[in-house]
Structure 1
């Protein structure tokens, strides 16, 4: 009886050791976990103004106080853009785009720069502005995380005068969160990001909006040396075989319910 029991125990141990190999735990550069770790976070701050005095005050603050202080914290690329006023959008706005390696960096930034005496001195007129003479009407803040297919912000390769450049910021809203995830998938797995890259759209970022006024939505920014090139690039995009094939895929139908488009140009002190 003891021999039988011992034999059965050896059989069980043999089956366990052969049938359940230890899983591989070492991550490679191709794993989703690594891509997730590389994805930056972005804050887009939009300043709204009602006077040139406010515009000039905020410009001076951003250029002479805020950007130097932010760069001391290791954020070496900050985009500052102006809106192109149109007949339908006459409100003057300034857009500030900040990249972060982590949400901890995002949360810590304001407290860190408030400990910088050089920043406080250089930005005193803005920081200490009186309640009846503020340097802006209000600020809108949008928090995003980069797409997996473009996990980090890139500086566009553009020539020519900055005032002529077109930085096109787009927001695509979806009817539900599920349709929103579907649209993000269309950019990544579906190949929209790759198509923009092939056609020379010089994208700065693609972002999943984590917090903002119009959710669920994604935002992205492409760049062009001038309006004529911008129009030509979009014509090539719409006519491309990749796009025609993509929009014919039934699973990607109805994933955008509203789109906003803003045409911007970089300030002379912008890093992008």
Structure 2
């Protein structure tokens, strides 16, 4: 009887411990990346002013304390871009924010030049939206720990497309099991790693690493090579990236990142 009770007690304690471990696992954040496409300096000025004085302050009052705004280092005059990075604790927060921000009086007043732009003088050509879910190995975003002024920094946004959904999941598994740990060990100052769950170029994953400058970026990747070589040849992780798109960005002076 005592032996039976001991087994029951042991099983109960084990179940409680397992349950505590399960509930201790952090829920993954969701991220929206809004990409503004525009052509002129005037459009850029209107977008910047809107983001700086209306949109970001409104998000801050709604509980989104950190919002990223990034611009390409290389200028493309045919299609100019601004990236807005919005972290969300729950996917439903996106709808909540879109609804509540629109009712904010300060937002409506500060955002007038952008919000009330005429049909023949729009502040952008198009807006693109990408929704991501954070990897289990880094379920929350992180602010960069850098020492240089924002205009000197190099932020590297990478997108890894795959031929199939399963191969994309395989690459995400590779990140969760190995690559995120290598990036962390080498201090790549990653902001996020995420699986794209809605966007125009699926299946794919995206991640953002940050550096003090170009030389800092190059030295980090030089150190990454030997570490990555140890796992890149593993048979279970072959052919899981069909296209790598790399963008070099810098943060706007009003960006929280």
Shared fold per TM-score greater than 0.5? yes
Q: Secondary structure at the match of 2:196?
A: strand
What residue number does 1:153 align with? 141
**1:187 offset after TM fit, Å?**
0.3
Q: Secondary structure at the match of 2:69?
A: strand
What residue number does 1:64 align with? 53
Q: Equivalent of 2:202, from 193, 211, 215?
A: 215
What residue number does 2:236 align with? 251
**1:239 offset after TM fit, Å?**
2.3
**1:34 offset after TM fit, Å?**
4.6
Over 3 Å counting, the alpha-carbon distance change for 1:179 and 1:122 in structure 2 is: same
Q: Secondary structure at the match of 1:57?
A: helix
Equivalent residues of 2:39, 2:78 under 8 A apart: no
Q: Secondary structure at the match of 2:197?
A: strand
Over 3 Å counting, the alpha-carbon distance change for 1:60 and 1:218 in structure 2 is: same
Q: Secondary structure at the match of 2:236?
A: helix
CA deviations on 1:137-175 (whole Å, 9 max, x unpaired) are 111100011111111000011011211100100000011
What residue number does 2:151 align with? 163
Q: Secondary structure at the match of 1:47?
A: strand
Q: Equivalent of 1:30, from 3, 21, 33?
A: 21
What residue number does 1:203 align with? 190
Matches within 5 A, 1:46-61: 46-61=35-50
Q: Give the Cα–Cα distance (whole angstroms) in 2 for the partners of residues 90 and 230 of structure 1.
A: 27
Q: Equivalent of 1:82, from 54, 62, 71?
A: 71
Equivalent residues of 2:35, 2:81 under 8 A apart: yes
- Aligned-residue CA RMSD in angstroms? 1.9
**1:111 offset after TM fit, Å?**
0.7
**1:29 offset after TM fit, Å?**
5.2
Q: Secondary structure at the match of 2:202?
A: coil
Equivalent residues of 2:34, 2:85 under 8 A apart: yes
**1:56 offset after TM fit, Å?**
0.4
Q: Whose radius of gyration is greater, 1 or 2?
A: 1
Q: Give the Cα–Cα distance (whole angstroms) in 2 for the partners of residues 133 and 142 of structure 1.
A: 25
Unaligned stretches of 5+ in structure 1?
A: 1-13
Q: Scaled by the length of structure 2, what TM-score is found?
A: 0.92
After TM superposition, the structure 1 stretch with the greater mean CA deviation from structure 2, 98-107 or 251-260, is 98-107
- Residue 266 of structure 1 pairs with residue 251 of structure 2: yes
Task: State the number of aligned residues.
Answer: 249
Equivalent residues of 1:50, 1:91 under 8 A apart: yes
Q: Equivalent of 2:168, from 173, 180, 204?
A: 180
Over 3 Å counting, the alpha-carbon distance change for 1:266 and 1:137 in structure 2 is: same
CA deviations on 1:248-271 (whole Å, 9 max, x unpaired) are 110000000001011000011000
Equivalent residues of 2:132, 2:197 under 8 A apart: yes
Matches within 5 A, 1:99-118: 99-118=87-106
Over 3 Å counting, the alpha-carbon distance change for 1:73 and 1:255 in structure 2 is: same
CA deviations on 1:51-87 (whole Å, 9 max, x unpaired) are 0000000000000000010111100000001112257
Q: Which runs of 4+ in 1 moved over 6 A?
A: none
What residue number does 2:132 align with? 144
Over 3 Å counting, the alpha-carbon distance change for 1:262 and 1:29 in structure 2 is: farther
Over 3 Å counting, the alpha-carbon distance change for 1:27 and 1:62 in structure 2 is: farther
Q: Scaled by the length of structure 1, what TM-score is found?
A: 0.87
